[in-house]
Structure 1
Amino acid sequence: MWSFRCSPRRSRPFSLPWLPLLLACGATSAGAEEPLRVERLQRCGDLLEQKQQRFCLDAAGLADGPYQVLLDGRALPARQVTREGETLRLELQAGQQRSGPVWLRQGSRESNPVWLSLNASQVLAATPNEVAKNMDGLTTYVNLVSVLIEEDHPGLDEAKRLAERYGAQVVGAIPPLNVYQLRLPAKDLTERDALVLRLGSEVTVDAVIVEESAPEKGEEGEAAKPKADDKPDKPHGDEWAANRFMDAVNYYRRRIPSQASPVATTPLRIGVIEREVDFDSPDFSPYRGGCNSRQQRTCLYARDAHAPDGHGSTVAGILAASWEPGGNMGFLSGLDRAGPGFEVIVERNSDAGITANIAASVNLVEDGVRVLNWSWGIHRVGAVNVEGDEVDSLVRSGIAMGGYEELLEEFFLWLRREHPDVVVVNSAGNGSSFSGTDEYRLPSSFITEQLLVVGGHQRSEDKGLPVQDPGFAVKRETSNIDMRVDITASACTRASTLAPGERGAVHCGTSYATPMVTGIVAAMLSINPRLQPEQVRMLLRRSAMTIGENYDFEPVDGDDLTAPIIPSERGYDLHDKDIGRSARLDMQKALELAVQSRDRVR
């Protein structure tokens, strides 16, 4: 007996007489329950209202009958939840509740947990009829812009004054950065650009931020396009050996709970700026429902995706993929029961491009995140690679890059002032270009101790070399380079799948090198939470293996991967063989130095 009903979730190809009906609605056996999932959660209504906040939650598989919405393990009272089909509206009091994971429970089913932040940074994404193509052929917002108000002016009051003057409306905000989003009375790009010029000339306005991204789901991050030299049959375990992944897991599991001299650890929150994770994959299915990191386990909070091989699932999987039923292994989940418990929060605020990435980052930092993973970045139109050819992916116009640069500068100034212990780990990019040239790429070009930049390498063809040999791994052809890159890590991993134990397709890019570094930084900080960002960078480079040739500090050319290792990073030994070479992540050695640092960093 079969029943048919429409579902927004997956459909699979069939070659049966009732194919059209199956494609339209999907088939479920009678009595079988559709998985319960949270696919969307974000602020709705008045985004500037802080006392009474409204959130819209879109659920899949929510049947008729009783259900519960749990926030941080406590069921919300019925008066705070309104249902309209599969959309729930949550009315929350900021003073009575706090940020935390929210999930659904109906009968024996529980959904994926999603992080709900009650902080004030919220921005709107444009709808499909609110975007247009500019002269560079890029999708840009027509009537939504953000203004960065000079710090010596009250931001909201000034934003309201500007809105009244120009017939606009204040619709979003990142208050800690004095950034406010305006809906302009513009019907096309000509009208928008005129208003942007006038707003930019106001003495109280530091910058106008024009968003260039798709209206809904746009470019996710920095995964490189497959190239002829990609080897899809190459196992990621071999790739990760170049960074001593398993050695690091083994060291943490044995050294931290050692009976002779156990190391006290501190729980840690990690923020991953991505859209969603597929909780139907065995890599992530153990994270459905409630999760208590105090039980020395990894917790993962994210919206649910419709496919297991998306960018967010792959990035999050390097940190948190379950070791038991799936085909992958996450670094932090490998530390369960030995570590203090890690919370991995996958969050992106809305689909409003770079502005939303920064809004989400601000909220997460205010919610206690210590390490941020930014597997994304953008190049300016006209940026050239090491061969002199123009970069053709993830590019933005000059006007957009100017606004983004000011926004990112304000974010890092705020971090330095209010949260100096937070570390941001950013991908170097996959344009075969220069990561540190501010006129070419953001955010990796920023010079700040709180930003670590990660390049990508892959396993060399010479299988007979020991892991410590500089030739064990080689620079990935597409990885961005130069002095601003702090360290390289494995760029190739396998995507998640829907079948237990199945190995997914190989994905490569600096997006996936970045969470390798994020994971080890989180583990180091769990061992010694007193480490400051500059000390974390120093320990990563002191512990690093090498990669590539010795460049003797010559000007950067097409083969330099990272800033060269200097004598102070090798005990001031001017004759050390590593001097002048690029740095390759050594995860076990980094943990060893973190343990040793406990006696030195007080």
Structure 2
Amino acid sequence: MRHSLLTLCRPLPALLFAALPLTVTAADPDPIRIQQLQRCGDLLETHKQTFCLRVKGLQPGDRQVRLNGEALSAKQLSGKADQLQLQLDTKGKQSGPLVIEQGGQQSNPVWLSLGSSHVVAANADEVAKNMDGLTSYVDLISVVIEEDFEGATEARRLAEKYGAKVVGMIPPLNTYQLRLKAKNLDERDATVLRLGGEVSVDAVVIEESGAEKAIERDVQKAPPADNQEWASNRFLDAVNFYKRRLQRENGGLKTHPVRIGVIERDVDFDAPDFADYSGGDCRADRKRLCLYARDADKPSGHGTTVSGILAAAWDKGGNSGFLRGLDDVGPGFDVIVARDSDAGITANVAASVNLVEDGVRVLNWSWGIHRVGAVDIKGDPIDSLVRSGIAMSGYEELLEEFFLWLREEHPDVVVVNSAGNGSSFSGRDEYRLPSSFVTDQLFVVGGHQRSDKDVPVKDPQYAIKRKASNIDMRVDITAAACVHGSMAKADEEGDVHCGTSYATPLVAGLIAAMLSINPELEPDQLRMLLRRSAMTIGEEYDFEPTEGDDLTAPILPSERANELNNPDVGHSARLDMYKALDLTVQSVDRVR
């Protein structure tokens, strides 16, 4: 299918900006929209941080900036028109929503993280094509320092030795970004080779990311999306169950707030699906879902569609968010859409670290990459989202450090990752990252679509595997891959978007709802509940080696009360949102 790709701003310079004032009419002022917010200046400074903002809709005159509802001094904001800088002393402050107010208007709320993990993106003059024809950073690389070394000290030593400069960092992962003196890829590779031989260096990460390239794409023609797509996962049944079960006057369950992080660029707040998130204090209603994101120019972007599956208002402009549907009885979900800079996979990891430190319990990763030379299940080469072997090796080490850190410091956090759309194998590290990692904290989601069979929803043939979806034993569960996107006008039917990117937030949102009911659930218990509640899809494969039609790991007898002859055994697992919530409630009832 064709996607309308988002055009994103380049990283903002650390110097003060100069621009002509925006021309707006007093009678019909443009809404105030924060389109970009990211660290700039000295990224190694943690106590006095500088943030660069790109804002549209501001008029000349006074404006007020609020962080976590607290008004900041006017002296902390500088710049003119749409390019601003915010100077922030972090002492006594916490990460939280930031808004700009002027003339009775309020901007979209964006999440400002005071975490220390930030990396720099390359501009157009700092990239080149490598031998594989991939865009690669010329002078920006990251080094993962061995845990026995003090990362910051060792990074400075290496920088001095190689004539480089430390410009970014992910301290919890002992990872530091260096700007080399390299003028071309040959010079960079020579320095990378020497750095890789240092005793203190675990890995060197090079970026092969086009800053404005789509995170995920699905080239297969999309089928019509209607309520039968999400019906295959009992979406509405789940919403009804949550609201009905938790509204009972007697025996109702206490729910708990859950914070969800979505690694995406932005969301279109001018679309009817998201318009009511701007203005006022969202958290004044403790049951309401709050959405924090940078603003996009169009509603057709990847981030808007992914976020909409969680947070879009119902019956407004194309999409309907699962967690938004729980507002009446919900605990007050926070959905934070953030990516900071456009520095590729390294930036995804840096943003994820900050969000976890900011209290996120569920991370939605609707992205992934394939190694150059990877082939699909038919033996044909994959040509989307590919990276060279040297880049994949660095990414693999960085992601390994991330999951080791999660296990040691944040064992209750889960990451929900798309299996990918390459008709390939999701669980082989020579093919795909990050879905190939085996850890209780990583959930991998494949995609299915409605079949043409007139059968009950629980029948294995109600849905069929989507041809583009990656497969194999590493895929935990499959969910509906097609969704209507948001539209610019109310009451219009959105374009159809398909891919594992859109199956992933169905699972992420469900896990967040499960945790709101029972926050004591650990990652392995969440997986158990998802698999025990799952419906089936496809034929039975009797645990033979993975073939072209295997979509997920086969359902085991232990996932069906040890019934060896249960008809579900051997089939792939299809998400049942209703039954998963029902089992979650039962897990609480058993404890009470």
What TM-score, normalized to structure 1?
0.93
The code of the aligned residue for 1:316 comes to S
Corresponding residue for residue 414 of structure 1: 405
Corresponding residue for residue 13 of structure 2: none
Check if 1:158 corresponds to 2:149: no
Cα distance in 1 for partners of 2:491, 2:355 equals: 33
Check if 1:453 corresponds to 2:457: no
Check if 1:286 corresponds to 2:276: yes
Counterpart selection for 2:290 from 292, 296, 299: 299
Corresponding residue for residue 491 of structure 1: 481
Counterpart selection for 1:559 from 545, 549, 566: 549
Please report how far the alpha carbon of residue 235 of structure 1 lies from its aligned counterpart in structure 2 after TM superposition.
Answer: 3.4
Corresponding residue for residue 214 of structure 2: 219
**SS of the residue 1:70 aligns to:** strand
Matches for 1:37-186 after TM superposition, within 5 Å: 37-186=33-182
**SS of the residue 1:313 aligns to:** helix
Counterpart selection for 2:494 from 499, 504, 527: 504
**SS of the residue 1:598 aligns to:** helix
Cα distance in 2 for partners of 1:292, 1:573 equals: 47
Cα distance in 2 for partners of 1:601, 1:469 equals: 33
Counterpart selection for 2:29 from 28, 33, 36: 33
Corresponding residue for residue 195 of structure 1: 191
**SS of the residue 1:458 aligns to:** strand
Q: 1:108 to 1:30 in 2, by over 3 A?
A: closer
Describe the superposition over 1:108-141 as per-residue Cα deviations: whole angstroms up to 9, x where unpaired. Answer: 2111111000010000000100000000000000
Corresponding residue for residue 475 of structure 1: 465
Check if 1:398 corresponds to 2:393: no
Corresponding residue for residue 357 of structure 1: 348
Cα distance in 2 for partners of 1:235, 1:144 equals: 42
Matches for 1:535-574 after TM superposition, within 5 Å: 535-574=525-564
- Is the 2:220–2:468 Cα contact (8 Å) retained in structure 1? no
**SS of the residue 2:142 aligns to:** strand
Cα distance in 1 for partners of 2:274, 2:58 equals: 20
Corresponding residue for residue 598 of structure 1: 588
Cα distance in 2 for partners of 1:559, 1:48 equals: 49
The code of the aligned residue for 2:48 comes to Q
The code of the aligned residue for 2:395 comes to Y
Q: 1:337 to 1:293 in 2, by over 3 A?
A: farther
Describe the superposition over 1:519-552 as per-residue Cα deviations: whole angstroms up to 9, x where unpaired. Answer: 1000000000000000000000000000000001
Cα distance in 1 for partners of 2:390, 2:460 equals: 42
Matches for 1:303-318 after TM superposition, within 5 Å: 303-318=294-309
Cα distance in 1 for partners of 2:315, 2:150 equals: 52
Cα distance in 2 for partners of 1:226, 1:437 equals: 23
| Aligned alpha-carbon RMSD (Å) | 1.6
- Is the 2:22–2:59 Cα contact (8 Å) retained in structure 1? no
Q: Number of aligned pairs?
A: 573
**SS of the residue 2:335 aligns to:** strand
**SS of the residue 2:132 aligns to:** coil
Check if 1:332 corresponds to 2:319: no
The code of the aligned residue for 2:171 comes to P
Corresponding residue for residue 13 of structure 1: none
- Is the 1:373–1:515 Cα contact (8 Å) retained in structure 2? yes
- Is the 1:40–1:303 Cα contact (8 Å) retained in structure 2? yes
Cα distance in 2 for partners of 1:410, 1:561 equals: 28
Check if 1:516 corresponds to 2:543: no
Please report how far the alpha carbon of residue 83 of structure 1 lies from its aligned counterpart in structure 2 after TM superposition.
Answer: 2.5
Q: 1:350 to 1:279 in 2, by over 3 A?
A: same
Cα distance in 2 for partners of 1:226, 1:77 equals: 51
Corresponding residue for residue 582 of structure 1: 572
- Is the 1:213–1:219 Cα contact (8 Å) retained in structure 2? no
Corresponding residue for residue 207 of structure 1: 203
Cα distance in 2 for partners of 1:291, 1:131 equals: 41
Q: What are the ranges of 5 or more consecutive residues in structure 2 without an aligned counterpart? A: 1-6, 9-20
Cα distance in 1 for partners of 2:47, 2:318 equals: 45
**SS of the residue 2:339 aligns to:** coil
**Quick check: 481-490 or 84-93, which moved more?**
84-93
The code of the aligned residue for 1:72 comes to N
The code of the aligned residue for 1:218 comes to K
Describe the superposition over 1:183-207 as per-residue Cα deviations: whole angstroms up to 9, x where unpaired. Answer: 0000000100000000000000000
Please report how far the alpha carbon of residue 85 of structure 1 lies from its aligned counterpart in structure 2 after TM superposition.
Answer: 2.8
Please report how far the alpha carbon of residue 583 of structure 1 lies from its aligned counterpart in structure 2 after TM superposition.
Answer: 0.2
Please report how far the alpha carbon of residue 79 of structure 1 lies from its aligned counterpart in structure 2 after TM superposition.
Answer: 2.1
Please report how far the alpha carbon of residue 84 of structure 1 lies from its aligned counterpart in structure 2 after TM superposition.
Answer: 2.8
Please report how far the alpha carbon of residue 337 of structure 1 lies from its aligned counterpart in structure 2 after TM superposition.
Answer: 1.9
- Is the 2:241–2:578 Cα contact (8 Å) retained in structure 1? yes
- Is the 2:229–2:450 Cα contact (8 Å) retained in structure 1? yes
Cα distance in 2 for partners of 1:223, 1:487 equals: 20
Cα distance in 1 for partners of 2:251, 2:563 equals: 31
Corresponding residue for residue 314 of structure 2: 323
Please report how far the alpha carbon of residue 374 of structure 1 lies from its aligned counterpart in structure 2 after TM superposition.
Answer: 0.2
Check if 1:266 corresponds to 2:256: yes
Cα distance in 2 for partners of 1:128, 1:325 equals: 39
How many percent identity over aligned positions? Answer: 66
Please report how far the alpha carbon of residue 601 of structure 1 lies from its aligned counterpart in structure 2 after TM superposition.
Answer: 6.1
- Is the 1:223–1:507 Cα contact (8 Å) retained in structure 2? no
Q: 1:97 to 1:30 in 2, by over 3 A?
A: closer
Cα distance in 2 for partners of 1:514, 1:293 equals: 29
**SS of the residue 1:243 aligns to:** coil
Please report how far the alpha carbon of residue 324 of structure 1 lies from its aligned counterpart in structure 2 after TM superposition.
Answer: 4.8
Q: 1:44 to 1:236 in 2, by over 3 A?
A: same
Corresponding residue for residue 534 of structure 1: 524
Cα distance in 2 for partners of 1:88, 1:76 equals: 14
The code of the aligned residue for 2:361 comes to R
- Is the 2:364–2:505 Cα contact (8 Å) retained in structure 1? yes
**Quick check: 373-382 or 283-292, which moved more?**
283-292
Cα distance in 1 for partners of 2:160, 2:465 equals: 53
Cα distance in 1 for partners of 2:158, 2:226 equals: 53
- Is the 1:102–1:116 Cα contact (8 Å) retained in structure 2? yes
Counterpart selection for 2:234 from 222, 225, 244: 244
Check if 1:423 corresponds to 2:417: no
Describe the superposition over 1:78-98 as per-residue Cα deviations: whole angstroms up to 9, x where unpaired. Answer: 122213332221111222211
Describe the superposition over 1:15-58 as per-residue Cα deviations: whole angstroms up to 9, x where unpaired. Answer: xxxxxxxxxx9997673101110000000110000111111111
Please report how far the alpha carbon of residue 219 of structure 1 lies from its aligned counterpart in structure 2 after TM superposition.
Answer: 2.4
Please report how far the alpha carbon of residue 600 of structure 1 lies from its aligned counterpart in structure 2 after TM superposition.
Answer: 4.6
Cα distance in 1 for partners of 2:284, 2:466 equals: 36
